[in-house]
Amino acid sequence: MSGAVLNQEPALLVEQVKRFTDADLNALCEATDAAIIDGGGFGWVTPPGRRTMETYFRGVLLVPERELFVARLNGDIVGSAILVRPPRNNEAQAFAANLMHSYIAPYARGHGLARMLTEAVEERSRELGYHILNLDVRETQAVAIAMYESHGYVRWGEHPEYALVRSKSITGYFYYKRLRPAKTGGGQ
């Protein structure tokens, strides 16, 4: 049995992406397809097709207020999340950013990558000076809800008709997490 590797731990990595290789874009689209089919709440209910998805992810990299983070399992992209900064003309909410479209493909779950992805977005938000990170999820995403709540996110509201999935109305939950101590006197 020389040369055999037994019980090798998977290599886990989360990183911000500024450009794609063809292989990375393909893996990202595959992971996104799998998450959408599994009901991952990416926004699409059915995969939109490869060209649309590639265009979407290339577009994310072009928008200055968006930063794309990916999760890798053994080198392959298996999930992503997007940090969305507020537009410059929104001074009143300039202290808060949003975590959007966070998911791990079903075939890569159970390694802690969702938590790592969330922590990477939180850390980047702190680096950029944000005090609050907001997110929203469908009520059907029980595992994501449990992960966010265990990670200190506070549910502040819900929308009873947040999403329409296969002609069924789905409630959405809204969360925030304070990344820095509250400012005094300004209500933040």
Question: How many C-beta neighbours within 10 Å does residue 161 have?
Answer: 9
Residue 134 maps to a domain: yes
Residue 184 maps to a domain: no
Residue 7 maps to a domain: no
State how many domains the chain has: 1
> Domain containing 24 — which CATH number?
3.40.630.30
Full domain range(s) for residue 142: 12-178
Residue 161 maps to a domain: yes
Determine the Cα angle at 148 with ends 144 and 151, to 5°.
140
In this predicted structure, the answer to whether residue 188 has a pLDDT above a threshold of 50 is no
Residue 49 maps to a domain: yes
Tens-digit pLDDT profile for residues 114-157: 999 999 999 999 999 999 999 999 999 999 999 999 999 999 99
d(C-alpha 121, C-alpha 15), whole Å: 10
Residue with tokens 């595992």, as numbered in its chain: 143
Is the distance from CB of 28 to CB of 73 less than 8 angstroms? no
Tens-digit pLDDT profile for residues 3-12: 555 678 899 9
Residue 3 maps to a domain: no
In this structure, what token pair is assigned to residue 29? 């689209």
pLDDT band at 187 (very low <50, low <70, confident <90, very high): very low
**Nearest C-alpha neighbor of 100 from the set 142, 56, 137:** 137
Residue 174 maps to a domain: yes
Determine the Cα angle at 135 with ends 129 and 141, to 5°.
150
Is the distance from CB of 140 to CB of 186 less than 8 angstroms? no
**Nearest C-alpha neighbor of 158 from the set 142, 138, 144, 185:** 138
Is the distance from CB of 153 to CB of 177 less than 8 angstroms? yes
Residue 57 maps to a domain: yes
DSSP assignment, residue 128? T
